Structure 1
Amino acid sequence: MSLGAAVYVEGWVAEQPLLPFDVFRIPYMRPFILGLLFTYGTLGIFLLYATLYMQEVLNLNPMLTVAWYVPMAIGGCLLATLGGLILHRIPAIVLMLITGLAIIIDSLLFALAPPNANYWAWFFPSVICATVSVDLIFNVANIFLSTSMPARQQGLAGALANVIPQFAIALMLGFADIVVTGTAGQGQRQSYRNAFWLELACGATALVIFMGFVRIERAKSDYTADEKEERRQEEIA
């Protein structure tokens, strides 16, 4: 109800809305943001339920749990640092494909891992795929949002880039909690595995949206949104 009221006020009441609806008229913006909601939402599911699975099902101590996450931290730093180089060489559609597949793989590995699963065979690749998925799409989203909006809306572009992950994580964690709580009778291990099946469903949904409805070119030197609008107005004149 609060979200619905906010949409109404922003769209039809506020003279200077925080999120102008004309943002969603940018080509591919609506399906891209919808795909981001499903993509970023998987990060929250993975971080919470992978940690709970490690500590409550596998009985790892806290320090060993931290050690298992080290590849994710290292991978995130590398991808964030090298992201600019990747975006100029690989089309965004390929990066979005890798993102969706990485989510599917990381969730499958946890959902299907046997009780005596080996770390290097099951959990290490899962952690790597989790960081690849989120960091790649984060770079794509930042470039797309910043280059699609004019100079006067660059603050809005930054706000969207920051808010969408937070909103997506909160939203999908709510659904994950419903799944885990609703299947608690199946046992703790299976209820946590069900959360990973939900993560897989979110990743597959994002993959379908990105592949079917979003077309973003690879990052390149180009006219800004303001310059493109000026050229369009000149052509019309």
Structure 2
Amino acid sequence: MATVEMAAAPVAPASAVNNMVDEKGVVPCAVEIANPEGRPACFKSTIQEVLFVLTATMAIAMGAFLSGAVSVISASVGADLGMTTAEITWMSSANTLAGGAFLLLFGKLADCFGRKSMFVGSLFIFAVFSLAAGFSKTPIVLDVLNGMMGLTTAASVPPAQGLLGTIYEKPSKRKNAAFACFSAGNPLGFVIGTIFSGIASDLFNWRASFFLLAIIYLVFSILAMFTVPKDTTPKEPFTWETFKKLDPIGVVLTIAGVGMFCAALSSGDTAPQGWRTSYIIAMLIVGALLIVAFVFWENYYPHPLVPMSIWFDKNFSLLMIVLLLGMMSFNVAEFFLALYFQEVWKWSPLTTAVHLLPMAIMGIIVNIIAAVIMHRISNKTLMLTGCFGYLLAFSLIAVNTVHSSYWAFCFPSFLLAVVGADLEFNVANLYVASSMPVHQQSIAGSIVQTITKLCQSVGFGIGTAVFNAVGRSAKEGGYWDVETKPYSAVFWFATAASGLSIVFAVFLTIGTQGGKEKEVDDDGDGDGSGGSRKIDGGLE
């Protein structure tokens, strides 16, 4: 067994390589460096590198930042604009729904036509829509603008991850650190969004939260113009052949299918006749059929939007299922807990934000630890740790009552929930990036984010239905007070989903990621010929 240096395509798990769809045949190396632990040559300084990774992190944090801001001002917005519970939850649902439906399209566009311009433009447009949201006068306008902001998040994440995947092409501890910072954006964005929004709304009003969001992303859009290196991957010409490679039928199927299915889940409980409403049933059935049709279409189309063969990699599929269940639990539980603080405990937005601060601090710590240990400790162990972190976290807040102590239940729950979110997202994100070739790095990021957004929409739909159903039938008596019962029911749903994720995580066989690349001599002759293969730090 000999240690070697790789000079071309990134190392992927053997099972992923065997099933990889490579449309271009030869994958060019975007960055040629002798030492993968050294600073990539495309950066003029370490400061530029750090600012680029920070800007990329703000891209993936965009949707979570918005959700966090909305959660902490939800009660104030609802009271000011006279919004129902359904309209309040739609502020977050519209964001995740629009983002999830268009992610695959934007991922394909970024891979074909370039990533930097789409990345910088999406940050700027998000700032514009945030500014407009601050001037909203009616619930429908605010919900629509939140949806448009979700659309821009779909345009920012794929090029951001695509750039990271090509710049940090070779497995290394440096790549682990970059992706750990990037992965932190999702869970940390929610917490930082709540803190900033809480401060702004307490000093002024809820509109200031959107104005602050606009300022932040305007600054980062300007910063991105100077810190994002030139995208050196080949670009496609604007021809009919390129149009066919965009898989227009697949795009229509995924947007319509995901959009209708998630919209039905989000609106079912508040429709005129509930889930029996005719248009809700129609959207559920048609949406599900379109998603199934999309899967069949992608298996036979020569230029698939999503290479379906990657799902034959057992670890990839299991990671996506575990991530889906975990993120569905995390986002729903944290949204309703922030709402609980305001509606039941009568905390102000700023007080709510301050009590969510431990999540941000813990998130920074966990991501630093993840960057250090992902190449040393089996990632299956890390995923199981994340699953149990979720399970304990949501169990604690599920038994909370109006008279309970924040420090006894909510505080430890926050710490454990962040352990679950950050460990799972780090492992899944890095694995997917290593499973796809350089020219499909943006679509790789789109797959992860689509799964995340889809599960958020499904989770909010189920969570809202559970909340409303229990709220209507809640009576005095028992362990929980009447006000807490509907919230507790949502937290038990999150507990059940995170507990189910453990079942799937047990079957993972993933090892470490980002360690030294090794050559395994399968034929045993010692010369590395006739059956040798490359593996990455335990992934085999």
Q: TM-score, normalised by structure 1?
A: 0.87
2:33 aligns with none
Q: 1:2 to 1:155 in 2, by over 3 A?
A: same
- Would you tell me which structure has more helix in proportion to its own residues? 1
| Counterpart pick for 1:201 among 488, 496, 521 | 496
Structure 1 residue identity aligned to 2:426: N
Do the aligned partners of 2:377 and 2:511 also contact (CA within 8 Å) in 1?
A: no
Matches within 5 A, 1:214-229: 214-219=508-513, 220-222=515-517
- Whichever of the two has the greater Rg, that structure is 2
2:32 aligns with none
Do the aligned partners of 2:400 and 2:488 also contact (CA within 8 Å) in 1?
A: no
| Cα shift at 1:151 | 3.1
| Counterpart pick for 1:11 among 270, 284, 296 | 296
Do the aligned partners of 1:11 and 1:21 also contact (CA within 8 Å) in 2?
A: no
Distance in 2 between residues matched to 1:58 and 1:5, nearest whole Å: 43
Residues 126-171 of structure 1: CA distance to partner in whole angstroms, max 9, x if unpaired? 1111111101101001121122233343222222232222121111
1:151 aligns with 438
Distance in 2 between residues matched to 1:9 and 1:101, nearest whole Å: 34
1:179 maps onto 2:473 in alignment: no
1:102 maps onto 2:389 in alignment: yes
Q: 1:24 to 1:110 in 2, by over 3 A?
A: same
| Cα shift at 1:98 | 1.3
- More divergent stretch after superposition (108-117 vs 133-142): 108-117
Structure 2 residue identity aligned to 1:214: L
Distance in 1 between residues matched to 2:288 and 2:367, nearest whole Å: 32
Aligned-partner SS, 1:200: helix
Residues 165-205 of structure 1: CA distance to partner in whole angstroms, max 9, x if unpaired? 21211111111111111111214310110000000000000
Structure 2 residue identity aligned to 1:216: I
Q: 1:145 to 1:234 in 2, by over 3 A?
A: farther
Structure 2 residue identity aligned to 1:11: F
| Counterpart pick for 2:357 among 70, 74, 80 | 70
Q: TM-score, normalised by structure 2?
A: 0.40
| Counterpart pick for 1:24 among 300, 311, 330 | 311
Distance in 1 between residues matched to 2:491 and 2:314, nearest whole Å: 32
RMSD over equivalenced CA pairs, Å: 2.2
Matches within 5 A, 1:29-44: 29-44=316-331
| Cα shift at 1:34 | 1.4
Q: 1:33 to 1:223 in 2, by over 3 A?
A: farther
Distance in 2 between residues matched to 1:93 and 1:35, nearest whole Å: 11
Aligned-partner SS, 1:89: coil
| Cα shift at 1:38 | 0.4
Structure 2 residue identity aligned to 1:2: G
Do the aligned partners of 1:10 and 1:18 also contact (CA within 8 Å) in 2?
A: no
Structure 2 runs not aligned, ≥5 long = 1-285, 475-481, 520-528, 533-540
Number of aligned residue pairs: 227
Structure 2 residue identity aligned to 1:9: F
| Counterpart pick for 2:367 among 80, 93, 97 | 80
Do the aligned partners of 1:100 and 1:133 also contact (CA within 8 Å) in 2?
A: yes
Aligned-partner SS, 1:88: coil
Residues 25-83 of structure 1: CA distance to partner in whole angstroms, max 9, x if unpaired? 22322222112110111121122111111111222121110001101112223333442
2:199 aligns with none
Aligned-partner SS, 2:509: coil
| Cα shift at 1:234 | 5.6
Percentage of pairs with the same residue: 26
Structure 2 residue identity aligned to 1:39: G
Do the aligned partners of 1:11 and 1:20 also contact (CA within 8 Å) in 2?
A: no
Structure 1 runs not aligned, ≥5 long = 225-232
| Cα shift at 1:118 | 1.7
| Cα shift at 1:14 | 4.0
1:235 aligns with 531
Do the aligned partners of 1:42 and 1:199 also contact (CA within 8 Å) in 2?
A: yes
Distance in 2 between residues matched to 1:22 and 1:11, nearest whole Å: 12
Structure 1 residue identity aligned to 2:502: L
| Counterpart pick for 2:376 among 89, 111, 128 | 89
1:47 aligns with 334
Residues 73-122 of structure 1: CA distance to partner in whole angstroms, max 9, x if unpaired? 12223333442212123211211111111111111111112332222221
- Larger relative contact order (Cα-Cα within 8 Å, sequence gap ≥ 6): 1
